[in-house]
Chains A and B, each alone.
Chain A
Amino acid sequence: MSVLAVPAGKQAIFRVNPVAKLAAALLLAGVLMLTIDWVSALVALACELVLFFWAGLSARMFLIRTLPVWLAAPMAGLTTLLYGQAAGQVYWAFGLVHVTQGSSELAVATTLRILAIGLPSVVLFVTVDPTDLADGLAQIVRLPSRFVLGGLAGLRLVGLFIDDWRALELARRARGIGDGGAIRRLAGQAFALLVLSIRRGSKLATAMEARGFGAPIRRTWARPSTFGGREYALVGMGLLVALLAVVVSVATGNWNFVLA
């Protein structure tokens, strides 16, 4: 069981540096956070849904991976509809619940916004290989290599933790302490997993040190991580979608700056 399963594909998106994917997703999210209106979110979402055809995912895969976003967005919308800031005509009220013209507009805007930010983030990251992302973060963004590589190596342990957790569960049943008290049992098991993970972590650290990790030598990189035309194009697309959303929103008079 591995959390580092390497995604594979031949489309251009697989060859784009993960740093560009991160930048495009952050850019889009950053701009869409500046306003709460349904127009900008709808424009961004429409552009994205077209671009997703080139994202390297089958329709089935797209639905499976983005399902949490599709579920979360209407939930957030519903909450806003029922409890959002009351304004304008009141359609229905019950206790703390006020469904008003203002809250229903906000609800639509919130739902669309979560989709417009969430979907591209998920879609872009499905095709990211963690090793390539680490290479990019260290070589292009120039984050400290010790930090990036330590995190990357630690990520590999997550698969082992899942196996450990299963073994701990069986062992507790075998030791006679598996009956009843689910919460107490889980707490004990979680603590045992913590102890095991610290031990695994320190063994891994020794193995890394033994291979010269942390030596006072300037590190070289076996895998070059480059940022070129393809990467600028992806970030450019993100920028374009964001700008289009802002322009249409302002032009139609729907722009609603969050801090205003």
Chain B
Amino acid sequence: MTAANSAPPRSASVDARGWGWRHAGRTDWAVARLDLRIDPGERVLLLGASGAGKSTLLHALAGVLGGDDEGEQQGRLLVNGAEPVAARGQAGLLLQDPDSQVILARVGDDVAFGCENLGVPREEIWRRVHECLAMVGLNVPLGHPTSALSGGQKQRLALAGVLAMRPGLLLFDEPTANLDPDGVIEVRDAVARVLENSAATFIVIEHRVAIWQDLVNRVIVLDAAGGVLADGRPDDVLASQGERLSAAGVWVPGRGHGMPARRATARDGADGILLRADSLSIARTKNVVVAGDIDLTVRAGSALAVTGPNGSGKSTLALTLAGLLKPSGGRLEASADFADGAAAAPIDWTSRQLLTRVGTVFQDPEHQFVAGTVRAELAVGPRALGRSGPAVDGRVDTLLQRLRLDHLADANPFTLSGGEKRRLSVGTVLATQPRLLVLDEPTFGQDFRTWREVVALLLELIDDGTGVLAVSHDSDFVAAVADRDYRLPSPVADRQPVTPR
């Protein structure tokens, strides 16, 4: 069952004539003076530095940018010759965060949602639901709960929901940025299958060029200063603009040079041991043991990567080692040197004792922000230690500079971009100079520039004797940073033999 046996979907054109958009309350235009024509059926990869207005353009084309109270428009932006808002359902938008795109509780209902809103007759809705679920390869019953899907499955569900509306224009805003490597491939393959069977115009934003390179026939690079920086066939644009794009944070294939490197190799021997785990078992909440029989050591001046499939308990292990979750069994002890007068088990340390010992960078930076400005956010840790005045200011200023956040010192942490939030979350932890850094997916969804900065910073810290423990799916990151790799096995439920039907 493919789209081939149904009526061919429409295919839409895009025209921008001196178009621009300024969000309400901002002084700078997010997009300015944009002139652009995309013909029906073209497949476009949209690139540009962060802040060049790529997402704004996509949201505008989908008609979800909002009205006059949300911002100010210049020039005209047309989809098939009409205002995007007037043609709901003509454009299908797929966003980055899998969790915020699931709308209803059951898989079938979720796919049907868009069709219902567009007034499609009932029999036709269910025909489309079946067809689109098959097209994205989501083989679960219609009544399957959406909350039980993995990230990659949720994105394919959202894709099916978009396709069911039969849009002539497919707009994807970094749909794989929040997925693990398996999820990225799942979604990419589903999109490739869809494009084979569809005539729809396709525009995708993604800073990892390699994922989509083979599926597009045009690359447009937006200029952060307004207008278009480069536009043409993928090979030509990447060849002529590669250097510039790479500096702006785009992952251009074949441009891995200038990667940061370690100065020293890891020190070995018993003297550097910070933490030792003996047949440790870990649990997210009481009685729900995720993994057991874990034996490992965490050392100063060395980096340990925690890897493993989804659901194997990587984050739980990291949070347990960081003294935030209580081990459900076995032993976890800090060396006498590391404990430095505090209890042996990290979970028994006070919140303040943790500050100079373990710094934890959470997967979602927003979870760890507690202050109203970037400057105040960086000062939280030092102040909790009882430091004050010039000592705190000096430390904060150094961090602001080091993390390129000085121009944002008075901004609210929640209003920062993804890369800025990541840098700030690392900075809040560094403010108290802990001897061990625990990071959960520190490079998730980051552009090349932030990636390189985070890696360089960590390497510097390791060289200076800090211990690093990082959970990561990112093989480039593991290769660049880790001295050792602790791999957790698949979750117990997955390992049980499948009962024959």
Contact = CB atoms under 8 A, between A and B. Distances in A.
Contact of A212 (B89, B95, B354, B364): B89
A173 B354 contact: yes
A206 B95 contact: yes
B477 interface: no
A207, A214, A224: most-surrounded residue (chain B CB, <10 A):
A207
A219 B112 contact: no
B95 A222 contact: no
Given A2-B105, A210-B64, A195 B117 contact: no
Interface in A149-178: 152-153, 156, 159-160, 164, 166-168, 170-178
A171 B367 contact: yes
B254 interface: no
Given A6-B145, A204-B100, A207-B103, A171 B368 contact: yes
State which size class the interface on B falls in: 35 or more
B370 A172 contact: yes
Interface of A is mostly: helix
A59 B361 CA distance: 47
Contacts of B112: 222-223
A131 interface: yes
A179 B103 contact: no
B89 A200 contact: no
B385 A195 contact: no
B12 to A, nearest CB: 15
A18 to B, nearest CB: 14
Interface in B97-120: 97, 99-106, 108-109, 112-120
Contacts of A175: 351, 355, 368, 370, 380-381, 384, 428
Contact of A170 (B105, B162, B324): B324
A98 B282 CA distance: 56
A224 B116 CA distance: 12
B117 A173 contact: no
B93 interface: yes
Contact of B119 (A211, A214, A220): A220
Contacts of A178: 350-351
Interface in A119-148: 129-131
A196 interface: yes
Given A156-B105, A206-B95, 17 more contacts: A5-B145, A6-B106, A130-B105, A156-B146, A170-B360, A170-B362, A171-B360, A171-B370, A173-B351, A174-B354, A175-B381, A207-B103, A212-B88, A215-B89, A219-B116, A220-B120, A223-B112
30 contacts: A1-B147, A2-B147, A2-B148, A4-B145, A159-B147, A160-B99, A166-B285, A170-B360, A174-B322, A174-B358, A174-B368, A175-B355, A176-B352, A176-B355, A176-B381, A199-B366, A207-B100, A210-B95, A210-B162, A211-B117, A211-B162, A211-B165, A213-B117, A215-B88, A217-B117, A217-B118, A217-B119, A219-B119, A221-B122, A223-B112
